Chain A
């Protein structure tokens, strides 16, 4: 880890005014310290936003749920309101990483984590995402890599919260020196084709200052499933969130997002379309699961992920019917 200066910001404005030169934001610090220790980044200054008041609230208003970026994963997973109404979000927060990390890691930081690809994380591999010439995963060890949109760079997006948040149609508020802007989460993340050096559009002088989840339609339920190789610690091999609005046992609207599938959280549009207006049952769930994998381009060692995704997409849909 390199030496750096430290600034404690008391307000959003203070934080932004410090974000110049080689300065980075520190909230929970989990992924940041990891990257500093691995030598992936060497900032001159850390701007600590952990103590800014008002950024750690969970509130429900008439337009929906507002989550402060400093809310920890542990709080999200335990919050009564989130558990009852936005179940998948609590589930995703509660299944991420380990108890200790959930006590430290923040919602904003979870969305802004850098990829876990082992080539990206190892200093020795100068890959495209670090400004190099090639993606080592494409012809290398790629069992955990992307099965969609993986021609240029085969990372998968590491955020667990992004999966349910995107499925809920969440937006993020970004505040910077030029003021605040609100962006749909769907447009917040960027694909390798758009910009291979980054995973989202946040500017160096911006903070996520709020996450907004729109008010749910009546009779809407959500479910999140994570499949890993072991039960704790692990980032998922595959994860999915299904948000279904139903009338009786008929699905009115489905929102299905896959994690660990592509360089961005991946919306399974064909699966969503196939469920609309259908009775939720084994057959429709199976069909949606099949369609969720249509167009996948698995690499040499990760074809098994298609079967895993089909299984968990199907299960996530059927769990709503049974709940």
Chain B
């Protein structure tokens, strides 16, 4: 038996590029451990049943639903949350474009979208609109109708490729 039966779990993993240790009851989900035991409330409860994508985080670079992952499941793994997206005080390009292009309205689904988009752009720096739609098909937004989210992902992707990119004209509907 590797660990034996656990009543109280104690695990180590990497969280937003830092080593962390945390102890919690074994029935807690990763979402609860992040919010309640590590005080990172940027990851939100949406539905608790894997139906909305709001609680998405990256585990070893892949987007997963933290409401359906037990905290115990990330022992030894690398977890990224929205709090870990900015580097050295500079926002990730996706964070800039989401804020500026209207991709965040109420903001509640935004952390989940940002992390899925990050996973996408790391695997595919120049996604088509269709590929963006497919990658984001596991995240629900009730405010935007998604259009401004695509535009934000496209602009961030262009900037990350080092292109001198500005919002496309149609994004601001003919206004200068």
A and B touch in the complex (CB under 8 A): yes
Interface size class of A (residues with CB under 8 A): 20 to 34
Contact A4 B68 (CB under 8 A): no
Partner of B3 from the list A7, A33, A74 (CB cut-off 8 Å) is A7
Contact B68 A8 (CB under 8 A): no
6 contacts between A and B (CB under 8 A): A6-B6, A48-B73, A98-B50, A99-B138, A100-B64, A103-B63
Given contacts A7-B6, A33-B29, A98-B53, contact A104 B64 (CB under 8 A): yes
Which parts of A44-79 form the interface with B (CB within 8 Å)?
A: 45-46, 48, 50-51, 74
- Which A residues touch B5, using CB under 8 A? 5-7, 45
Residue B116 CB within 8 A of the other chain: yes
CB-based nearest A residue for B60? A103
Residue A37 CB within 8 A of the other chain: yes
Residue B69 CB within 8 A of the other chain: yes
CA distance A227 to B6 in the complex (A): 43
- Which A residues touch B25, using CB under 8 A? 3
| Nearest 6 A/B pairs, CB to CB | A98-B138, A232-B137, A6-B26, A10-B2, A103-B62, A100-B138
Residue A233 CB within 8 A of the other chain: yes
CA distance A100 to B138 in the complex (A): 6
Contact A100 B53 (CB under 8 A): yes
Contact B138 A8 (CB under 8 A): no
CA distance A30 to B62 in the complex (A): 15
Contact B65 A100 (CB under 8 A): yes
Residue A1 CB within 8 A of the other chain: yes
Contact A8 B2 (CB under 8 A): yes
Residue A294 CB within 8 A of the other chain: no
- Which B residues touch A97, using CB under 8 A? 50, 138
Residue A282 CB within 8 A of the other chain: no
- Which A residues touch B49, using CB under 8 A? 34, 37-38
Residue A321 CB within 8 A of the other chain: no
CA distance A103 to B69 in the complex (A): 11
Contact with B along A280-313 (1 / 0, CB 8 A): 0000000000000000000000000000000000
Which parts of A1-42 form the interface with B (CB within 8 Å)?
A: 1-10, 14, 26, 29-30, 33-34, 37-38
Residue B106 CB within 8 A of the other chain: no
- Which A residues touch B134, using CB under 8 A? 99
Contact with A along B1-39 (1 / 0, CB 8 A): 111111101000000000000000111010000000000
CB-based nearest B residue for A45? B5
